[in-house]
Amino acid sequence: MAALERAGQRLTPQRLAIAEALARTGKEATVQELYDQVRRKHPYIGRATIFRSVDMLVEAGLAQRLERPGHVSAYIWCEPGHHHHLICTSCRAVEDLGETLVAPLAKSIARERGFRVDHATLDFYGLCRACAAKRGKPAAS
């Protein structure tokens, strides 16, 4: 959590609580979920603070906004340099994925299509090892 200090931001109890909540779940979390979670210890925290704090975390490179299907933004804690993920659609656990997979792709795209890649989204959705083992087949809807 010392990463927060390194980000050159003020270390308030709220921010700590939010960062901690996000880091601890190991899953993607919406603002509402973080709000519910953090409110157990900070009953007077406001939703706006969550929004402002996660924005700050994203800018500091400590979190990432997942543009996930369904119009609600979710956030995940992430170590610098790990901006791609495996996201379990069952338990919502998130695993990091390094840049190593994307870098060669970006390079070949630049070469073959003349496209100058700035950044890329690469996220895999599916079942994590545990969930895949639990149910061999995806659950029927």
Contact set with DNA (CB under 7 A) = 5, 9-15, 30-32, 42, 44-49, 51-53, 55-56, 71-73
Q: What are phi and psi of 97, to 5 degrees?
A: -135, 130
Please give the distance of CA 70 from its chain centroid, rounded to a whole number.
16
Closest separation in Å from C-beta 3 to DNA = 13
Should residue 52 be labelled a site residue for a copy of itself when binding is judged by CB under 8 A?
A: no
Should residue 95 be labelled a site residue for a copy of itself when binding is judged by CB under 8 A?
A: yes
- Half-sphere exposure of 20 toward its Cβ, with a 13 Å CA cutoff? 13
Binding test (CB under 8 A) with a copy of itself, winner from 43, 80, 81, 114: 114
129 binds, among a copy of itself, DNA, none (CB under 5 to 8 A by kind): a copy of itself
Nearest CA-CA partner of 75 in 101, 127, 37, 116: 37
Query: What distance in Å separates the CA atoms of residue 47 and residue 90, rounded to the nearest whole number?
Result: 27
Helices 31-39 and 47-59, axial angle in degrees (round to 10): 120
Looking at beta carbons only, is 74 or 94 nearer to DNA?
74
Should residue 139 be labelled a site residue for a copy of itself when binding is judged by CB under 8 A?
A: no
Closest separation in Å from C-beta 108 to a copy of itself = 8
Should residue 129 be labelled a site residue for a copy of itself when binding is judged by CB under 8 A?
A: yes
